Amino acid sequence: MPRGLWTTTVGSFPKPPNLEKARNQRARGEISADALEKLEREETVKLIRRQEEIGLDILVDGELYRGDMTTYFAELMPGFAISNPVRSYGNRYYRKPIAVGPIRRKEPLTVSWWKFAQEQTSKPIKGMLTGPYTMMDWSFNEHYPSREAMAMDLAEAINEEALALQEAGAKFIQIDEPAVSVRPEELSLAVRALGRATEGLKAKTITHICYGDFDVIYPALLDLPVDMIDLEMANSRYDLLDRFHANPFTKEIGYGVLDVHSHRVETKDEVKAGILRGLEVLKPEQMYVDPDCGLKTRTVDEAFAKLRVMVDAVREVREEKGITA
Amino acid sequence: MQIETTLAGSYPKLPTQPGDANLRVVRNRRDQGKATDQDVAEAILATTRRILAMQERAGVDIPVDGAAAWDDAQTYVARSLGGFQIAGLIRYLDTNTYYRQPEIVGAVSWERPITVEDFRAAQSMSERPVKALLPGPFSLYRFSKDRHYKSPADALRAIGAALAREAQALEKAGARWIHFEEPWIGRVRAEEASLVRAALEPLLAERTARTVIHVPFATPGAVFDAIRDLKWSAIGLDLVESSAAWDILPRVPKERIVALGLIDARNTRLEDPAEVARAVARARSARPDLDFQLSTSASLEYLPADKAELKVSRLVEAARIASRNGG
């Protein structure tokens, strides 16, 4: 009996309202850092329980203690300053890192949170990092003479963190590179930088890429030196599958089936249909089913409603196709 | 000779001074049911007024209204054209910003003025000629998913015709400058030159306002010869992202304007005005027969508001040095 169609998520979860409120209070100096962290830990435990309850196979810590996926790391790394808010879309803003000196990793960035999360469950927790190319591309640069110099310094720092996660016991390490999809002419730099970042890793390595021009970067994308590439499929109505017919997808795939930018909860039938379309060109043992991207822009209720549909859909497809986890 | 100054595209909406209207906060309050659409409209006007006043203080000759009401560079216009619907979020090239992807699901048509009231409001706040902003037809097509037309040429003709109606409405409202944002024509191969021309030709032919074809992030080298003789007034070049943009200068027809995008709109590092002025002198030396504007390389909205304001000051200072030194 074939195995496969494991379920997971891409990384971030929405922060519950009480945590959002506490983060705002902390920003205004109204509560202590310890008080905020206590709440972050309590909510992380609840989040892991909920992931277990709905039956996900591979869990995440949910990144409830992180703001933006680049700024969180930049705030902990010498060489970075943080800008005032910059708009990303509509009324959404983020603070963007600014490279102002040589970037280094002087202390663990995520290891203590990973350990804490893993202590709460017997299921594997993914280690979650942002990749060197994306960190470089999504930062301002007032220090480095070239994009490559900055990316390779970041790769060195992220490799140290990835090795520390592996040392702590992480079996899955995801190094997200969403920026890879938009500058095809720099794909070789992204491959080099991610190669350096994953050097010496025995854990299963994953990278997440989304919202880009896949016509241009596929199949060169398969050169990324990781075991699994996680892709948004639902947002593009599974158009990516057409490319897999012409150029088979040769790695494991994180197969996104939930549109994370829509409030609408998908129906089980449409998620099933998406998975079944994938099985026409992918083997079940290649496929890890998940949302298109991080869920942090949804409400808590929306996120879990969507995930329940996803897990139910996978369960039915497994039964119908005789696939085990 | 005087070097005129201008900005490209949109501008950060957030205030740099406490107490100023904060559109982000008002929109959030509206989403929470604590503010009304009217409150948001007033905050948009206050933001526009602040952006124009900042440019006036700095001494920008041809200011922009900042596109305070726009969520992204495409959908504000596309959602009000017939034939379009608006779909999911997608990355806006390599800018780490997003737009909602327009989908063409029927015949594209212009149904009513889209940006005209915004323009009128902005122009009433400034003594200087406010530059109206529209997406370029070729880029709007390439940023969209076409589910309707049988051929790109048909779609481009329809989009060009629809945008021409909007441009005409802006002209009737008094617009003296119209900026068409065309990032995609810097990214296409020579084989697509005829499509680019098909999109722009009818749009530019009937204009009474001066028009800018602005190409941020890349160089329109592959298709420039195909649009060289069209009736545009100015070509906006991104001289920060690619040094190849300098190669366009020798190909620009006489009596046209080149907007030199020498102020980096995508990095916080501040330019040395004297160095920028030297680059302007290089351009004038290469083409003494052309007029030049000094501009940002792209929309300043990629920067935080405090840095954007500093960039505007540097831009004006650089233009003054360049003008003092004989342009």
CB atoms within 10 A of CB A25: 14
For residue A142, list chain B residues with Cβ-Cβ distance below 8 A. Answer: 267-269
- Chain segment B38-82, per-residue pLDDT in tens: 999 999 999 999 999 999 999 999 999 999 999 999 999 999 999
- Chain segment A200-223, per-residue pLDDT in tens: 999 999 999 987 777 788 999 999
Q: Which residues of A lie inside 8 Å of B (Cβ-Cβ)?
A: 83-91, 93, 96, 98, 137-138, 140-142, 178-179, 181-183, 211-212, 235, 259, 261-262
Instruction: Decide: helix, strand or coil at residue A232.
Output: strand
Percent of chain A with pLDDT over 90: 89
Q: What is the distance between the alpha carbons of residues A156 and A132, in angstroms, rounded to a whole number?
A: 9
Residue of A nearest to B94 (CA): A182
Q: What confidence score (pLDDT) does residue B170 get?
A: 98
The answer to whether the CB atoms of B307 and A137 lie below 8 A apart is no
Rounded to the nearest 10 degrees, the angle between the axes of helix B305-324 and helix B273-286 is 50
Map tokens 């009217």 to a residue.
B38
Q: What confidence score (pLDDT) does residue B178 get?
A: 98
Q: What confidence score (pLDDT) does residue A294 get?
A: 94
Q: What is the distance between the alpha carbons of residues A1 and A320, in angstroms, rounded to a whole number?
A: 12
The answer to whether the CB atoms of A212 and B305 lie below 8 A apart is no
Q: In a mutagenesis test of the A interface, which of B85, B90, B264 is the best target, namely the one with the most A β-carbons within 10 Å?
A: B90
Quick one: pLDDT band at residue A185, thresholds 50, 70, 90?
A: confident
Chain A contact present for B111, CB below 8 A: no
Chain A contact present for B247, CB below 8 A: no
Q: What confidence score (pLDDT) does residue A279 get?
A: 97
CA distances from B304 to B25, B27, B93 (A): 16, 18, 19
CB atoms within 10 A of CB B176: 16
Q: In a mutagenesis test of the B interface, which of A24, A68, A84, A214 is the best target, namely the one with the most B β-carbons within 10 Å?
A: A84
Q: Which of B13, B91, B268 sits opposite A140 (nearest CB)?
A: B268
Q: What confidence score (pLDDT) does residue A263 get?
A: 83
DSSP of A80-124: EEEEEEEEEETTEEEEEEEE-S-----S-SSHHHHHHHHTT-SS-
- Domain annotation covers residue A188: yes
The amino acid at A237: R
- Domain annotation covers residue A35: yes
Tell me if the bond preceding B129 is cis, omega within 30° of 0: no
Beta sheet of A228-232, edge-to-edge order: A6-7, A287-290, A252-256, A228-232, A204-209, A172-176, A127-130
- Chain segment B270-281, per-residue pLDDT in tens: 999 999 999 999
Q: What confidence score (pLDDT) does residue A100 get?
A: 98
Q: What confidence score (pLDDT) does residue B247 get?
A: 96
- Domain annotation covers residue A1: no
Q: What is the distance between the alpha carbons of residues B114 and B72, in angstroms, rounded to a whole number?
A: 15
Q: Which CATH code for domain B4-20+61-324?
A: 3.20.20.210
Q: What confidence score (pLDDT) does residue A237 get?
A: 86
Number of domains in chain A: 1
For residue A235, list chain B residues with Cβ-Cβ distance below 8 A. Answer: 88-90
- Chain segment A262-273, per-residue pLDDT in tens: 889 999 999 999
- Domain annotation covers residue A268: yes
For residue A90, list chain B residues with Cβ-Cβ distance below 8 A. Answer: 71-72
Spatial CA neighbour of A114 closest among A52, A63, A68: A63
- Domain annotation covers residue A274: yes
Strand stretches in chain A, DSSP E? 6-7, 80-89, 92-99, 127-130, 140-141, 172-176, 204-209, 228-232, 252-256, 287-290
Q: What is the distance between the alpha carbons of residues B314 and B272, in angstroms, rounded to a whole number?
A: 7
- Domain annotation covers residue A242: yes
Spatial CA neighbour of A273 closest among A309, A222, A246: A309
Q: pLDDT averaged over chain A?
A: 95
CB atoms within 10 A of CB B188: 18
- Residue A19: give its domain's CATH number: 3.20.20.210
Cβ contacts below 8 Å, chain A against chain B, sum to: 76
pLDDT above 90: residue A1: no
Spatial CA neighbour of A208 closest among A281, A293, A289, A278: A293
The residues spanned by each domain of chain B are: 4-20+61-324
With contact defined as beta carbons under 8 Å apart, do B302 and B95 qualify? Answer: yes
Q: What is the distance between the alpha carbons of residues A260 and A275, in angstroms, rounded to a whole number?
A: 17
Q: Which residue has the higher pLDDT, B110 or A180?
A: B110
Q: What confidence score (pLDDT) does residue B6 get?
A: 98
Mean pLDDT within A66-84: 95
Question: What is the least distance, in Å, from the CA of A301 to any CA of chain B?
Answer: 17
Query: What six digits make up the tokens of A47?
Result: 């989040």
Q: Angle at CA A321, nearest 5°, toward A319 and A325? A: 65
Interface of B with A in 260-299 (CB under 8 A): 266-269
Q: What confidence score (pLDDT) does residue B108 get?
A: 98
CB atoms within 10 A of CB B124: 11
Whole-complex ipTM: 0.93
Q: Which residue has the higher pLDDT, A261 or A194?
A: A194
Rounded to the nearest 10 degrees, the angle between the axes of helix A268-279 and helix A300-321 is 50
Residues of chain B with pLDDT under 50: none
The answer to whether the CB atoms of B89 and A138 lie below 8 A apart is no
By residue range, what is the domain housing residue A213? Answer: 6-321
The answer to whether the CB atoms of B94 and A183 lie below 8 A apart is yes
Question: What is the least distance, in Å, from the CA of B106 to any CA of chain A?
Answer: 19
